[in-house]
Amino acid sequence: MTARVSTGLAKLDAMLGGGLLPGTLAVVYGATGIGKTHLGLTFADQGRVADGARGVVLDLNGRGDSQQHDEYAARLFAWSLKPWTHTVTPMADPYPPPDQLDAFYSNACPWVGRVRDFQVPTPDGGREFDWNWKAAYNHALYTVRPFLYFHCAAGTRRVVVDGVEPMDSPADSIQVFVFDELYRKLIHRDAETLGMEICLPVWKHRAFIDAHRYDHTAVTTLLLVTTEETRLEDLLARKVATGDIGATANTILVLGSERVGNRLVRMLCVVKHRGSVMSDEIVEYRIGARGIELA
C-alpha cells in the first residue's frame, strides 16, 4: 500500500505510482519559496485520511518558524500546528499530558552551519564534537525522542523534516548530520527498544511499551532540502555530492522554475522512485489559496 501525498494532488500520486512507499525516505530539493513546505504539510495532513493520524513536522531550520508552518497549516488545513514541549529525562515520568498528542511540531534541534563549527581539535590532530554541543544535543533528544515515539505509538506514520539549508558539501552540514542521526536512531528504531530507552525503569512501564508497539518500517519520511539552484534544469543537472542524503533515498522530487515566454513557471518532476512505477513527466504547478495545485 502506498502513502499518498494527498487526495488533492492526484496527479503527483499518479506520477509516483500511487504515492510514496511506506517506510522509505523521500527527499524534495528546491530553492527557498518554491513550495517545499506546502508539499510537506500536505503530505503530513494527508495522514489523517490514510493513517488515522496526522504526520509530525520536525523543523531543523534554527530560526524559529521562518518557514511559516503555522500560517500554512492553519490556512490550508485548519490545522493548529502546536509545538511539542514535553521533555523526558532519565527516570522521569514519561507520559505526555493529553494536549501534547495534539502537538505535531518540534524545533528542538536548531543548529545550522558546518560540522566543524561544532567541533574542537584533538591532541592527535583530528576533531571531535565539543562537549558543550554534545550536552545540548543530548538534551534536545530528551524532547525529540518522546515527540517521535509517542506520536508513532498513537498512529502517526509520516515524518516531515524541514529546513535543511544549502551547503557546498552536504557532508559538512550539521543539519545533515543531525538528520542522519535522528533517522537511523529514532525514526527507524525498533519501537520496543525506543520505548525502553524513554520509559524508565522498564519494569514499571512494561505494559505500556508492549501495548504501544508499532511497525517502524512503515514510517515514511519526507526530507525537504533547500538548494542554491532555482532553475529546474540546474537541479536536474545537479551532481550528487559527498554525504548527499539523496544518494541513498528511495525517492527524489525536484521543484524548480523556468521562464516560459513572459511567465516564470514552477515545475516539478520525479527523479528517482525505487520499487514502483514512476513518471518521467515534467509538470507545471502553482501555489494558490489551496496550496500546491498541479496543472
Domain locations along the chain? 7-294
pLDDT class for 224, splitting at 50, 70, 90? Answer: very high
Predicted local distance difference test score (pLDDT) of residue 2? 80
Mean pLDDT value across residues 210-239: 95
pLDDT class for 1, splitting at 50, 70, 90? Answer: low
Predicted local distance difference test score (pLDDT) of residue 87? 98
Q: How many CB atoms lie within 10 A of CB 217?
A: 10
The answer to whether residue 218 scores a pLDDT higher than 70 is yes
Tens digits of residue pLDDT in 90-123: 999 999 999 999 999 999 999 999 999 999 999 9
CB 127 within 8 A of CB 119: yes
- Which superfamily is assigned to 7-294 in CATH? P-loop containing nucleotide triphosphate hydrolases (3.40.50.300)
Tens digits of residue pLDDT in 43-85: 999 999 999 999 999 999 865 545 689 999 999 999 999 999 9
Tens digits of residue pLDDT in 21-50: 999 999 999 999 999 999 999 999 999 999
Predicted local distance difference test score (pLDDT) of residue 61? 82
Mean pLDDT value across residues 229-255: 91
Predicted local distance difference test score (pLDDT) of residue 253? 97
Mean pLDDT value across residues 123-144: 96
Predicted local distance difference test score (pLDDT) of residue 153? 97
- CA distances (Å), origin 256, targets 19, 29, 148, 188, 291: 20, 8, 31, 30, 16
Predicted local distance difference test score (pLDDT) of residue 67? 67
φ, ψ of residue 242 to 5 degrees: the values are -60, 130
pLDDT class for 291, splitting at 50, 70, 90? Answer: confident
Mean pLDDT (the chain, rounded): 93
pTM of the model: 0.95
Predicted local distance difference test score (pLDDT) of residue 242? 75
